[in-house]
Structure 1
Amino acid sequence: MNETINGVMDETLVDRVSGGTQQVVYEFARAATLEGWWSWALLIGTLALLLFLCIRLYRRDVAELAPLTRWTLIGLRLITIAGLVFFFFDLHRRTERMVTRPSEVTVLVDTSQSMSLPVGAMGSTQTRAERAARLLEDSDLLERFEQDHRVSVYAFDQTSEPKLLETRGGVSPLGAVEQPTREPALASNAAVIGALLVGLGVLLSVIALLVGAAGRTEILPWLICGAACSVVLGMISLGSVYAIHTDRSLAELLGRDKAADSAATETNEPTDNDATPPPVRVSDWSKTIAATGSQSRIGDALRSILSDHDPSTLSGVVVMTDGQNNGGVGTGAAIAAARRTEVAIYPVGLGSSSAPVNVRVVDLDAPRRVYPGDKFAVTAMLQASGPKNMEVDVQLLDKLDDSSSGSGAETNEASANLGEVVDSQKMNVASDGTLTAIRFEMEPESVGRRRLAIRVVAPEEDQNQRDDSRAARYEVVAKKLRVLAIAGGPTREYRFVRNLMFRDKSIELDVWLQTGKPGMSQDADRVLDAFPAKPEELFDYDAIFMFDPNWTAMSAESLDLLDRWVSQQAGGLILVAGPVYHSQWTRLRTDPRVSRIAGFFPVNLSKRGTLVSGGRQGGENPWPLDFTPEARRAEFLWIAEDPADSFDVWEQFGGVYDFVGVKNAKPGAKVYAYFSDPTTEIGGSLPAYLASHFYGAGRVYFQGSGEMWRLRGESDTYFDSYYTKLVRWVSEGRLMRDSTRGVLLVDSSRAMVGETITVRAILTDDQFEPLDVAEVEAKLLAPSGRIDDINLLPLKGEPRPGTYGGRFVVREAGSYELRLTLGDALEEQVLQQSVQVRLPTVELERPRRNDDELKQLADMTGGVFAAVEPDTTNDALVSTLVSQLKPQPQTTVLPGTPDIDFNRRRNVVLMWLIATMLTMEWVTRRLHRLA
C-alpha cells in the first residue's frame, strides 16, 4: 500500500544527462513511517469515521437548506479535511538520478623488451609490438568495442602499475549533471488559468453577498456553489504550479516579470563550461607501445586492473602479450583475483609457440675507439633454439669501413661485405634459449674507421638468416691523446693520475701544478707555469683534468678561453673537487668570474660554507657510493673485465670520506652516484658525487672529492681502468670529429632496447659561423634497415649558438647509426655516430610464446585464448574478441534530498486553501442564518 500511495502523485521528468537519467519523485513522507497493516487499518478507520460523522452531522445541520447549498457546505468542510489529511501525510519532492554505468573493456598491451622479438618463427621481420600496434591502429577492434563498452588501453612492463594510454566510449563521469528542463509556457498558462478561476470565485462570492443582502435567495445557492468551485479549482491549479516551480516567483509564473523569466530560462540551458573533457587518444600506436620495459609483469598488471575497475561492469580484460611473466607476482594471483571478481581474461598470444631451429648473435660488445698496438677484446652473446644443442663455427671479421652497407644484423647474401675472417672458434650453444658468451682478442691493423663483425656459420635448417651476424664500427686513432692536468696542490689523487697518464703510451701529458716552483721536476712530458694564454696552445689539448684548482689564479681571459675550448672545440673537462680551493671561490660574492666558473659544473653548488650543506672535510667514516641506473650504462665505470662484475667491485669498495656541497643537478645533467650518508640529505635528496653534462660541444665531468685513489686498495687495475676510460670518454667528441663544420654527439654509445638516446650537434655554416636554421634533419639507420628522420632543434640557454638537440628511442637490438649531412653535393660533409643496442638477459631467456600460461589464464577465468599465428588475420581476431565480450552495464538509483523550497510553498498553499474553505463556509452559514 505504501508503494501505491507513493505513486499517486509521481511526476517523472526524464532528461538525457551525463551518465544516466534524472527523475523527479513526489512521495508522502508520513506514509513511509507507517509500518504494519494495523497502522494503516487504524488510520483508514479513523478517516472513515471522521468523514462519516462530518457528513452525517452536516446533513442534519443543513437539512432545511436547498440541496445545492447543503452539498456545497459539506464539500467545503470535506475539502478542509482533505487539506489537513494532505498536510498530515507530508508530501515531499526529491530528484533521483538513475545512473547507468556503461560496460567496460580493458586492453593490456605488453611493452617489455621481449616484444621486440619477431612475431613469427619463419624469418618474420615484424616484431610482436608492431603486430599489436597494427591490431590497434589498422583494425576496427577499438571502434567495435566502443559501440557497447567504455574502452581503456593500458601498457605494462616492469612497473607494478600499468600506464593508461587511451580511453574511448562510454559516458562522462558522475557529477556533470544538467538540470531538468522545465516547461515555462505550460506552467505559466496553468498559473494564469488558476488565477483567473480564483478571481472568478472571488467575484461570484461578492455577488453572492450582495444578492443575499437583497434577499434574492433563489439564485444564491448557484452563486455560492460556483464561487466555491472556482476558488477550489483555481487555488489547486495556481497552488500546484507555484509549489512545483520553486525556481520561479509568483510574478514570474503569472508573466508579470518577463526579464527574470527570460534569465531563468537561460540559466537552465547547458553551457560550454559543463562540457566533459575529451577522451585520451593515441596518434601513433607504433611509437606509443614501443618495447621498452626490462621485465614483463603480467600478474601485477592484471591485479592492478582488477582492483581499479568495477567488476560489476568490467566485461573482460584483453591481454596482448607473449605470456612470459618474468617479474612481480605470478599469474596465479591474477587468476585468483579474476575468479573472485568473476571477470574473464582474454589473452592474445603474440610470438611463436614452437622452438624453431635457429642460432643468432644477440649482442656484440666492441670498443668505439682503440689505439695502434693496443689489443682489445670483442665479446658477443649467442642464443639458440631447437630440439638439441648446436655446435657452430663463430667467425670474427674485420675491414675498413666504407659506410656502404647498412648497420646491424646482416643477411647471408650481404655477408661478403662484412670483411675478411681474422679469427674463428667452435662453440657449443645450448638450445634452451640461454645466452652463451664468446670472446675474441684482436690488434688493430691500420689507422682509420673500421668495421668488425661476428658471424655464426649456421646449420642448413636455420630458419632465420638475418640474425646470424652482427656488426659494429670502431676507430683506430693514430694521434696521441693530449691531456693537461691542473692541480691546486700536489694531492694524492693528482699524483696517482699524473703517473698513470704519463706511463700510458697513447697519452701525451702536460701538467700545471699551481703551487709548484720553477724548475720543479714532474712526471710529465711538459711542465707549465701558467694556464695556456693563446687559443692555438689550449685548443691542441683533448682533455683537461682539474684537481681542486685555484680558480682565482686564472684570469677572466683564461676562463673565456677555457669556455671556448669546451663549448666550441668539444674538449673534455674533468673537475675533481677538493677541500682547499673549492670552498674559497664558492664563497665569493662580487667576483664576476664566479658565475663563469659555476657554469662549467653539471651541478648547482652550495655557497653557504662547509657548516651548512657545504660538504664535508675530514670525515670519520667512509661511505659507499649510491649508484644510479645511469651508472650501469656508463662504460667508464666498468672497471672490471666483465661489465657485469664491475658493480660488484664498486660494492666492495669501501667508499669515500668527503664531498663538496651540491644542491642539485642542473637540467640535462646525468647523475651517476650520490654520497650515501643519510645525514647529508637536504631537501629529500642526497648530494650528487659523480655527474656529467654537455657543455656546448664538449663534456664536463664532476667528481665530489679526490678519493678514487682508494680504489687501489682493491686493485691498482681498477683505479687505472677508471681514469683511463674516463679521460677517453670525455675526449670522445674531440677524437670522433668527422668534419670541420661541427660535431655530433650522443649521450650513450651503448643502450638497452627501449632507452632514449639524447643527441647533440654543434654546427657552423660554410663561413664557420654558428649555424642559424630552424631545424636540422638527421637520418637514423636502424638495425632492420629502416631509415627514420630525426629533427634536431636549436637548444635554448646554451653557452654557444648553433647548438641543436633531439632524441630518439631505440626499439630493436643491433647497431644504430645516426648520420647528419652538411653542405651541398660538391662539399658534402657527413657527421655520424653509432649506438649499440641489446636486449636484457631476462627478456631473452624465454623467447617462445608461453601458450600454457596464456591458456590457463583464459580457462580458469572463463575467457578465450586467441593465438596470433602468421596466417591470423585481424578480422578473424577482432570478430572472436567482440563476440565473446558481452556488454554488462549497471543502473544505479541515487536518491536525492527533499526540496525545502517545495515544502515551504506546499504549506503556504495548503494554509491558504484551508483558510479560504473555512472562510467561505462561515460566510455561507451566516448568509443562511446558521449557527
Structure 2
Amino acid sequence: MNEMINESIGHGTQQVVYEFARASTLEGWWSWALLIGSLAALLFVSVRLYRRDVAELPKLTRWTLIWLRLLTIASLIFFFFDLHRRTERRVTRPSEVVILVDTSQSMSLPVGAIASTETRAERAARVLAESDLLSRLEQEHRVSVYAFDQASAPQLLETRGGFFETREDDEADSSSSSFSTLAVVGSLLVALGVLLSALSLLVGAAGRTQAVPWLLAATATSLVLGVIVLGSVYAVHTDQSLTQILGVSEEAAATQQEKAPAEPSTTPAPVRVADWSQAIAATGSQSRIGDALRSILSDFDPSTLSGIVVMTDGQNNGGVGTGAAIAAARRSEVAIFPVGLGSSSAPVNVRVVDLDAPRRVYPGDKFAVTAMLQASGPNNLEVDVQLLDQLDPSATSGMNAADESSTSFGEVVDSQKVKVASDGTLTSVRFEIEPETVGRRRLAIRVVAPEEDQNQRDDARSARYEVVAKKLRVLAIAGGPTREYRFVRNLLFRDKSIELHVWLQTGRPGMSQDADRVLDQFPAKPEELFEYDTIIAFDPDWTAINADSLDLLDRWLSQQAGGLILIAGPVYHPQWTRLRTDPRVSRISGFFPVNLSTRGALLAGGRQGGENSWPFQFTPEARRAEFLWIAEDPADSFDAWEQFGGVYDFVGVKTAKPGAKVYAYFSDPTTEVGGSLPVYLASHFYGAGRVYFQGSGEIWRLRGESDAYFDSYYTKLVRWVSEGRLMRDSTRGVLLVDTSRAMVGETVTVRAILSDDQFEPLDVPQVAAKLLSPSGRIEDISLLPLKGEPRPGTYGGRFVVREAGSYELLLTLGDALEEQVLRQSVQVRLPTVELERPRRNDGELKQLAEMTAGVYTAVDPDTTNDQVRKTLTAELKPQPQTTILPGTPDIDFNRRRNVVLMWLIAMMLTMEWVTRRLHRLA
C-alpha cells in the first residue's frame, strides 16, 4: 500500500510515502501463501470460538464482541507488517537547449552575395531579439545562449526558461486545515463513545436491557472510529502536539516553523541581454566551432540536452576540428542544429586590411606608407588605390572629426593600379610621401571599388601621424667602450633626426667620440638633464652617479616622461647589485622592470662567457612590440629573429615586476630556475616614463644577419621609449597607451600622469577621457588612480577595440579659458585568417546536422526570422528527466503509530472485558 502526498519544492516534488516494511522482507510465493493461510486460520478459529462462547447473548451484542476481537487481531497484524513513513524527493530537471552564436570577425561580412548593409552578426541579433524564438523555446526548455570566437570555451550571455515558480503556501494551508477538521471529528467521536458508554451503564442499571445492545454497538463504533481518525492525524503530524492539531495552541507551532531551516534554493538566477547587437558583436580573431561544441557537451547533461543550435557561417579556423565535436555529440546522442549565416557563393568585395604608417616623421624626410588589400569574388579584380593626405581634422575640431567611413580624407596625392587576387590572399601596395608642414596630419589609403562591391565601409583606412621639427636628444652612458656601445653610438650619430651626447665613464678628458657632444659626468642640474628625451645605459658604473643625480633621474623619468634603456653587462652590473649597504642600490633597482638577483653566477646570478649561443624565446607581447619588427613585415621580422643565432650571456633576474611586460626569455633550458627561464627583454612604465631592460649587450651579433636589422631595432627602440616625451601635448601631463597597433578584439591599456594648474600631482577620484572610434562613435573612458605608483597623479584605464581603423583618445585638462588636450592614437587591424574564406561553409554545417540527427537551416537574405523559428521549435523536442531520491524512515511517526495502536488495542480489550463481565461470561 502506497499513499503519496505531493508537495511542490522548486525543481521537483517532495512525496511522503507510506509502506509496510515487513512486506518487502517476504520473498517467494510460499512465504505469502503461508502467511495468508495462517491469518485465515487464526480468524476462522477466533470467530468459531467466539460464536460458541457468546451464543446465549443477544445477537447485536454477540457481533459487537466478535468485531472487537477481530479488530484487535487486525491491529496486531497491522503492527506486524510495520507501517513506515519516509519522505522521498522527485526531482524533475527541465529540458535544455543551448544556442551558440559565432562572434568571430567573419560574422562582420554581409549576409548575401550582393550588396547588402546587414552583416551576419546583425542578422543573428535580429533572430534573437526580434523573433519569438527564445520566448517559444523557454516554454518547454531552459535556454542558454553563448558566444564563441577564439577562446577555447564559449561565454554565457543569457539564460531563460526552465525555472519552476510554484506556490506551496495555499496547498499547505488547505492540507493543514483538512487534517485539523478530521482531528476534531475524531475527538467528537471519542467523546460521543464515552457518553454512550456511560448511558449504556445507566440504562442497564435501570433494567432496560433491550436498549443496551444498541448502545453498546454504538459506543464501540464511536470509540474505535474516533481513536482511528484522531490517532491517524496525530501520527501523521509528528511535528505538532495534539493541542496544536486540534487548533487549541498556536504558539508552539509558530516556534516550530521559526526553528525549521529554510531549504536553500537551487534555482539559478536568470541572465538577460539588453542589447543583442552589442553582445554578439563580431570581434573575435578566430572561429572555434569544434572547441565550443565540445565545451558545451562536457558541461551539460546529455540526458536533458534537447539540442545545440549553432548560428555561424561555418568557417572553423581555430582549435580542434568539427569531427571531434561530431564524435562527442554522437556518443552523447545530442543533435546539433546549425543555422548557416552568409552566402554560399563568394561575395564580391575588396577591402583595405591594414595600413602601416609611422607615428612621427621629420620635415623633408620621405617615409613609406604600406597597405594590405584583400578581395573575394568569382574573378580577380583590378582597382585604383589612392593615397590621401590632409591636416588632422580632430586636431582642431576635437570629437567632431570626420569618421572612418567618410570620404573627406583630404586630397589625393598619389594613386596606383593594383591587381588583387580573389582567393583571399593579401596584396601589398606601397606609397612614399614627403611631409609638407609641421603638425598633426591624417593620411588614408582608399580603394576605388567596383560597383558590385557589397561593403563600402572597408574600402578605406586612415592613420594619424605627426610631423615634428624637434630633433630627438639622446644621452648614451657606457661603463666601457663595448661593441654594443660603439655600434649604437655610430648608428645614432649618423641619424639626422637625433642629437647624440655621450658619457664614456672610462674615457679621459679631451677624448674624441663620434657624438655631437662628449660629457665627463652625469648632468647635475634639472635644465641639463631634462633636455634629453632618451638615456641609453650600457652596463654603467652606477656608483659614479651620486644620490642627488639619481633623484634627478627619478624626476626626469616619472615627471618628464623620459625614456630609459638599460643594457646589462658583466663588468659593473654584478658589482653594484651586491652593495647592500649603499642606499642608492634600492633607488637604482627601482628603475628596472625586473627584480634583479644579488647572488653570484653559480647561484643563478647570470651567465658570463657562455660556450653556446641561444635564441630568444619570444612571448605573445613581443608580437605586438613594433621595435622588434626589424623587417618590413612583422612575420618576416620574427623569421629573421629565429634565424638569428642568439646570445651567449645574461644577467641574473629573479622575476618580472608587477605590471611589467616580458618580451623574450633566454632559451637555454639549463638556466631555468623555479620553473621559469631568465628574462632577457622586458619593459614597464615608471611614472610617465618608459624603462626598457636588455639582459646583455649582444644584439650587435644581429649584424651577422643584416646591418639593417640591427639599425632598425635600435632606431625603433629609441623612438619607442621616448614616445612619451615626443607626444606630449601639455605641460600638465602625458597620456600613454601600451601599444599603438592592435588587433580587433584586443584590450588597450591607458596610462596618464597628470598635474593640476599649480603643477602639483592631480588628486581627483577619476579622470574622464573620450574615445573616438573609426566609425565616428564616441565613448567615455574613465581613468582611475593607480595604486602603488612612485608618483601620485597617475591614472589608468583600458578599452577594447572592436573595429578596424584609427582610434583617437582625447583627455582634456583645464577650463574653457585655458584648455589643454592630451591625445593618443591606436591603429587597429583585422586578422586575415577570419576573412580569407568569406563563403558560407554549407558542406561542414550539413555534416554537423546529418551526423548528429539534427537539421541544417540555411539563412539567405530572403529567409524570414519566422521560418528559422518554426524550424527550430518544431525539431527541438523537450526531454526533461525525473529522478527519485529516497528518504529515511520517520522515527517520530513510528513512535506515535505504536502509541495509537496501543491505545486502540487497550480500548477494544477493555470494552470486551467489561462487556463480558457485565454479562457474566468467563
Mark yes or no: TM-score above 0.5: yes
- Whether contact under 8 Å (1:539, 1:565) holds in the other structure is yes
Amino acid at match of 1:850: N
Q: Are the counterparts in 1 of residues 386 and 412 from structure 2 also a CA contact under 8 Å?
A: no
Partner of 2:321: 330
The aligned runs of 1:748-787 (5 Å cut-off) are: 748-787=739-778
Structure 1 pair 402–261 and aligned structure 2 pair: CA distance change class (3 A) = closer
Greater shift, 151-160 or 509-518, is seen at 509-518
Please tell me whether residue 725 in structure 1 is matched to residue 729 in structure 2.
Answer: no
Distance 1:410 1:571 in 2: 37
Contact (CA 8 Å) 2:389, 2:413: kept in 1 or not? Answer: yes
CA distance in 2, matches of 1:179, 1:596: 74
Structure-2 separation of matches of 1:722 and 1:849: 42
Partner of 2:619: 628
Greater Cα shift, 208-217 or 711-720: 208-217
* In 2: Cα distance, 1:91 partner to 1:566 partner: 86
Deviation of 1:110 after TM superposition, in Å, equals 0.9
Q: Aligned partner of 2:880: which letter?
A: P
2:825 aligned to which of 815, 827, 834: 834
CA contact (8 A) 1:409 1:468 kept: no
Match of 1:75 in 2: 67
The answer on whether the counterparts of 2:117 and 2:455 sit within 8 Å (CA) in structure 1 is: no
CA distance in 1, matches of 2:365, 2:387: 18
**What is the aligned partner in structure 2 of residue 93 from structure 1?**
85
State the match for 1:47 in structure 2: 39
Match of 2:516 in 1: 525
Given candidates 897, 903, 925, the residue that maps to 2:888 is: 897
**1:621-641, CA deviations, whole angstroms, 9 ceiling, x for partnerless residues?**
554433221111111111233
Q: Counterparts in 2 of 1:434-833, with a 5 A limit?
A: 434-442=425-433, 444=435, 447-579=438-570, 581-582=572-573, 593-605=584-596, 622-677=613-668, 685-823=676-814, 827-833=818-824
Letter in 1 for 2:413: E
Counterpart residue type for residue 722 of structure 1: Y
- The alpha-carbon distance between structure 1 residues 428 and 22, as it changes in their structure 2 partners (threshold 3 A), is same
- Whether the 8 Å CA contact 2:116–2:454 is kept in 1: the answer is no
Alpha-carbon distance in structure 2 between the residues aligned to 1:289 and 1:514? 59
- The one-letter code of the counterpart of 1:840 is P
TM-fit CA distance, 1:544: 1.3
State the match for 2:307 in structure 1.
316
Matches of 1:335 and 1:374, distance apart in 2 = 58
State the AA in 1 paired with 2:39: L
Change (3 A) 1:605 1:878: farther
1:236 aligned partner: 228
Q: Confirm or deny: 8 A CA contact 1:179 1:268 kept in the other structure.
A: no
Aligned partner of 2:255 among 250, 260, 263: 263
- CA contact under 8 A between 1:22 and 1:98: conserved in structure 2? yes
Distance 1:528 1:179 in 2: 93
Please state whether the residue corresponding to 2:316 is helix, strand or coil.
coil
Amino acid at match of 1:55: V
Residues 115 and 322 of structure 1 are in contact (CA less than 8 Å); yes or no, is this contact kept in structure 2? yes
SS at match of 2:77: helix
Report if aligned partners of 2:376, 2:838 keep a CA contact under 8 Å in 1.
Answer: no
Tell whether the 8 Å contact from 2:193 to 2:218 is kept in structure 1 after alignment.
yes
Alignment check: 8 A CA contact 1:616 1:659 kept? yes
Match of 1:245 in 2: 237
Q: Does 1:103 pair with 2:83? A: no
The TM-score with structure 1 as length reference comes to: 0.87
User: In structure 2, how many angstroms separate the alpha carbons of the residues matched to 1:387 and 1:615?
Assistant: 59
Any idea what SS the aligned residue of 1:148 has? coil
SS of equivalent to 2:138: helix
1:248, distance to aligned residue in structure 2 (A): 3.0
Encode CA deviations 1:640-675: one digit per residue, 9 max, x unaligned: 333102222333444445545545444433222234
Identity of aligned residues (%): 80
Are positions 1:420 and 2:407 aligned together?
Answer: no
Q: How many Å apart are 1:224 and its aligned residue?
A: 6.0
How far the C-alpha of 1:67 sits from its partner, in A, is: 3.5
SS at match of 2:426: strand
Aligned-partner Cα distance in 2 for 1:627–1:236: 85
> Cα gap change, 1:118/1:700 in structure 2, threshold over 3 Å: closer, same or farther?
farther
Aligned mate of 1:27, from 19, 24, 27:
19
Distance 1:76-1:689 versus aligned 2 partners, 3 A rule: farther
Higher mean displacement: 538-547 or 912-921: 912-921
- Deviation at residue 401 of structure 1 after TM alignment: 4.3
| Residue in structure 2 matched with residue 433 of structure 1 by the alignment | 424
1:293 counterpart letter in structure 2: G
Equivalent position SS for 1:456: strand
> Is the 1:575–1:703 Cα contact (8 Å) retained in structure 2?
yes
Aligned to 2:297: 306
Alpha carbons 1:583, 1:610 under 8 Å: kept = no
- Contact 1:579–1:660 (CA under 8 A) maintained in structure 2: yes
Q: Which amino acid aligns with 1:571?
A: G
Match for residue 117 of structure 1 among 106, 109, 112: 109
Deviation sequence 1:715-744 (CA, Å, 0-9, x none): 444333222211111111211223334332
Equivalent-residue separation in structure 1 for 2:667 and 2:61 (angstroms):
103
Deviation at 1:827, TM superposition (A): 4.9
Q: Give 2:56's aligned residue.
A: 64
Post-superposition offset of 1:47: 2.0
Amino acid aligned to 2:742: A
Moved more, 20-29 or 630-639: 20-29
Query: How far apart, CA to CA, are the structure 1 residues paired with 2:908 and 2:579?
Result: 96
Q: 1:894 to 1:558 in 2, by over 3 A?
A: same
8 Å Cα contact 2:163/2:267 also seen in 1: no
Answering whether residue 261 of structure 2 is matched by residue 289 of structure 1, we say no
Is the 8 Å Cα contact of residues 298 and 325 (structure 1) preserved in structure 2? yes
C-alpha contact 2:347 2:838 (8 A) present in aligned 1? no
Give 5+ residue unaligned stretches, structure 1. 1-5
Q: Distance in 1 between matches of 2:217 and 2:672?
A: 93
Contact 1:483 1:507 in 2 (8 A): yes
Matches within 5 A, 1:159-308: 159-171=151-163, 181=172, 183-184=175-176, 187=179, 190-191=182-183, 194=186, 228-249=220-241, 252-253=244-245, 258-267=250-259, 274=265, 276=267, 278-308=269-299
Tell me, in whole angstroms, the C-alpha distance in 2 between the residues paired with 1:501 and 1:694: 24
With over 3 angstroms needed to count, the CA separation of the structure-2 counterparts of 1:93 and 1:622, relative to structure 1, is farther
| Counterpart Cα distance in 1 of 2:244 and 2:542 | 83
Determine the C-alpha separation between the residues in 1 that align with 2:602 and 2:228: 86
Deviation at 1:86, TM superposition (A): 1.4
Please state whether the residue corresponding to 2:295 is helix, strand or coil. helix
Q: 1:554/1:872 Cα in 2 relative to 1: closer, same or farther (>3 Å)?
A: farther
* Matches of 1:399 and 1:101, distance apart in 2: 64
Alignment match, 1:3: none
Deviations 1:106-130 (A, max 9, x none): 1111121222334455554554334
- Equivalent of residue 850 in structure 1, options 817, 841, 846: 841
How far residue 104 of structure 1 moved from its aligned partner, in angstroms, is: 2.0
Instruction: Provide the rounded CA distance (Å) in 1 between the counterparts of 2:202 and 2:168.
Output: 57
Partner Cα distance (1:107, 1:92) in 2: 47
- Using the TM superposition, name which of 198-207 and 708-717 deviates more: 198-207
3-state DSSP of counterpart to 1:725: helix
- Say which SS state the counterpart of residue 147 (structure 1) adopts: coil
Q: Which amino acid aligns with 2:503?
A: W
How big is the shift at 1:89? 2.3
Alpha carbons 1:821, 1:829 under 8 Å: kept: yes
- CA deviation map 1:846-900 (0-9, x unaligned): 1223344334444555555444445656566545544554544344443333333
Q: Which piece of structure 1 moves more, 782-791 or 202-211?
A: 202-211
